């Protein structure tokens, strides 16, 4: 027996449709919008009415009559103009859950046609401290990387490091102004390099001559000047090390640490292809590709600036070509602030004109901003952009307030508390982000996000720890076959059975919040189940074993889905 419940129901519908000579493409059920009426519903009869030239209710009654012969179904009814309502027998639902519990993937299928999906997220720059604006890209991208892997695709994550533009020339010019040359460059750490960049940024805004000096140095280092290249390599090295530390704390992984510099040589190829296809135009000193004028005209893509330097658009086009040629990407997905949507519209249209990604799906998933209580982008008290490392520390400090003091006599070491603080704080940050629709911004509330109640990361982590405690208290009892004896058990069982559908929806819609909503509801339903369905006080040993099996399956699925979201589930949770 298959144990992906929605697939089982759909197959039953297809069998009934085939027996009646109906088009099986309409034989699809979904979880009922009215759980008080049924478990599943199917609207296929309405869709068939036109082609069958029959009243949809009549079609629905015919389908229902066939389905009523199925011993796994408790009730099949037709409502309104032809809506099919399907309810399952408890014994059938229990058998499906038994199969899920025995499977390491909990009944989750793998995609039939695996794809290579390149995920572009992170996007940090050299010599710049990561700030709260980098949070969403990393957290969302990492979650989607894990989701793609879980459904059976081959994800390749790339940080796309900003390491090649004018900021390099600005830093080098500032160091030369301070030291007279670049001899001391390799002695500077990330803090000192960041300080040089901030000084250079201010100077270049105020002094056109300084800006021109930075531009000239940028052109020279990009052309291969050995002194400038050596200094650039050090800047890139210490910048990557600093960025990796931030991502380590957040549990964000990248397969590739390529940067704009790695695409530089391919930019010349992009220019050549554009010229060969008659797309390249010389306009006001720059080389451009004009885009089609439709209902919403877009500015042209600038390939090469008047100073001979390639643009970000050229670099992105070159990167697309490399990902197709070298990585054999079937899809390339960018997780970048939605305010960059025009940039990606331009790049994707230019890529199509150039023919560099034939048959490859290019997608920009734009996210909203992380905001403060005033609804504006989250800032520090002095009005600056919040540093990501400071945000993480602030979150840890908040979580630490809720922890008890170390007590060696109780086996609570300071090392365990420190580790727990890290798990809960990072989990809280991530869940606060991932519970929101990607396109929406959200308010970062320090006082609320770390609560053990409500729709928060700690609430889900605590639910897992609570089930761990239940398992320990009942360690002499073996989980057994599932028996559904009350409404709370049934509600929990139905929600557990939706796992496959939830995961594949999250993947197809590229929306981790679908999983966040599911784990929160699952944790709530478990709480209701446990309050009404005692294990130790169960009427029979079989029911006790069944309830322990439900608890274990819920725990295992919560742990797996938290892992898919990039959140750790501590074995034990502590509260002050």
- Note the pLDDT tens digit of each residue in 227-237: 999 999 999 99
Would the pLDDT of 3 be above 80? Answer: no
Position with higher pLDDT, 188 vs 447: 188
Q: How many CA atoms lie within 13 A of 189 on its CB side?
A: 2
Mean pLDDT of 69-93: 96
Give pLDDT, residue 443.
87
The answer to whether the pTM exceeds 0.85 is yes
Give pLDDT, residue 296.
81
Cα angle value 505/377/365 (rounded, 5°): 30
> What distance in Å separates the CA atoms of residue 485 and residue 222, rounded to the nearest whole number?
71
Instruction: For the chain, give the mean pLDDT.
Output: 94
Compute CA distances 109 → 151, 175, 209, 333, whole Å: 7, 56, 62, 23
In this structure, the strands spanning 30-31 and 154-158 are unpaired
Query: Residue written as tokens 């629905």?
Result: 60
Query: Which backbone phi and psi does 525 adopt, to 5 degrees?
Result: -65, -35
Would the pLDDT of 131 be above 90? Answer: no
Cα angle value 130/175/256 (rounded, 5°): 40
pLDDT band at 1 (very low <50, low <70, confident <90, very high): very low
Mean pLDDT of 256-260: 96
381-414, pLDDT tens digit by residue? 555 677 888 889 999 999 999 899 998 878 889 9
Would the pLDDT of 468 be above 90? Answer: yes
Mean pLDDT of 36-61: 95
Task: Report the C-alpha dihedral over residues 212, 214, 220, 221, rounded to 10 degrees.
Answer: -160
Would the pLDDT of 64 be above 90? Answer: yes
How much of the chain exceeds pLDDT 90, in percent?
85
Position with higher pLDDT, 367 vs 309: 367
Would the pLDDT of 220 be above 80? Answer: yes
- b vs e for 427-453, b when ≥16 Cβ sit within 10 Å of the residue's Cβ? bbbbbbbbbbebeebbbbeeeebbeee
Would the pLDDT of 270 be above 80? Answer: yes
Mean pLDDT of 142-152: 98
Residue 404 has which token pair? 């008890």
Mean pLDDT of 38-45: 96
Mean pLDDT of 9-35: 95
Residue 482 has which token pair? 């599932």
């Amino acid at each position: 027996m298959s144990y992906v419940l929605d697939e089982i129901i759909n197959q039953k519908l297809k069998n009934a449709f085939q027996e009646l000579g109906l088009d099986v493409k309409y034989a699809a059920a979904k979880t009922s919008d009215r759980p008080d009426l049924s478990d599943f519903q199917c609207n296929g009869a309405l869709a068939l009415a036109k082609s069958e030239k029959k009243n949809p209710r009549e079609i629905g009654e015919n389908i229902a009559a066939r389905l009523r012969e199925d011993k796994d179904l408790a009730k099949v009814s037709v409502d309104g103009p032809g809506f099919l309502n399907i309810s399952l027998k408890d014994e059938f639902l229990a058998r499906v859950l038994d199969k899920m519990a025995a499977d390491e993937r909990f009944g989750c299928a793998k995609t039939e046609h695996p794809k290579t999906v390149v995920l572009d997220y992170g996007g940090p720059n050299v010599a710049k401290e990561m700030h709260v604006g980098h949070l969403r890209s990393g957290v969302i991208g990492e979650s989607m990387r894990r989701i793609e892997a879980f459904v059976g695709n081959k994800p390749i994550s790339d940080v796309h490091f900003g390491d090649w533009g004018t900021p390099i020339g600005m830093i080098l010019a500032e160091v030369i102004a301070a030291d007279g040359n670049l001899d001391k460059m390799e002695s500077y750490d990330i803090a000192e390099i960041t300080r040089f960049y901030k000084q250079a940024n201010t100077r270049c805004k105020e002094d056109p001559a300084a800006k021109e000096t930075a531009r000239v140095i940028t052109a020279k280092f990009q052309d291969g000047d050995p002194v400038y290249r050596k200094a650039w390599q050090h800047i890139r090295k210490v910048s990557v090390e600093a960025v990796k530390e931030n991502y380590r704390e957040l549990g964000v992984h990248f397969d590739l640490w390529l940067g704009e510099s790695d695409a530089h040589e391919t930019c010349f190829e992009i220019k050549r292809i554009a010229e060969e296809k008659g797309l390249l135009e010389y306009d006001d000193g720059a080389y451009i590709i004009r885009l089609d004028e439709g209902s919403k005209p877009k500015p042209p893509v600038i390939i090469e600036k008047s100073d001979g330097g390639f643009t970000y658009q050229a670099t992105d086009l070159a990167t697309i070509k490399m990902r197709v040629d070298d990585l054999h990407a079937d899809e390339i997905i960018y997780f970048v602030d939605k305010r960059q949507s025009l940039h990606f519209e331009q790049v994707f249209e230019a890529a199509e004109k150039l023919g560099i990604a034939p048959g490859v799906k290019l997608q920009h998933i734009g996210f909203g901003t992380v905001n403060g209580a005033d609804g504006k982008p989250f800032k520090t008290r002095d009005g600056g952009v919040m540093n990501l490392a400071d945000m993480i520390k602030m979150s840890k400090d908040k979580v630490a307030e809720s922890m008890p003091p170390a007590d060696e006599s109780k086996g609570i070491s300071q090392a365990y508390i420190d580790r727990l603080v890290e798990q809960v704080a990072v989990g809280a940050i991530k869940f606060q982000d991932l519970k929101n629709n990607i396109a929406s911004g959200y308010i970062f509330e320090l006082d609320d996000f770390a609560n053990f109640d409500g729709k928060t990361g700690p609430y889900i982590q605590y639910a897992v720890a609570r089930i761990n405690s239940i398992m320990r208290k009942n360690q002499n009892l073996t989980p057994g076959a599932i028996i559904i004896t009350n409404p709370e058990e049934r509600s929990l069982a139905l929600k557990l059975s939706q796992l496959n559908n939830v995961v594949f929806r999250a993947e197809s819609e590229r929306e981790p919040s679908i999983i966040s909503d599911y784990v929160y509801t699952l944790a709530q339903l478990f709480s209701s189940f446990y309050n009404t369905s005692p294990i130790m006080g169960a009427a029979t040993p079989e029911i006790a074993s069944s309830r322990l099996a439900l608890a274990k399956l819920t725990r295992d699925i919560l742990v797996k889905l938290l892992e898919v979201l990039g959140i750790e589930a501590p074995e034990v949770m502590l509260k002050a």
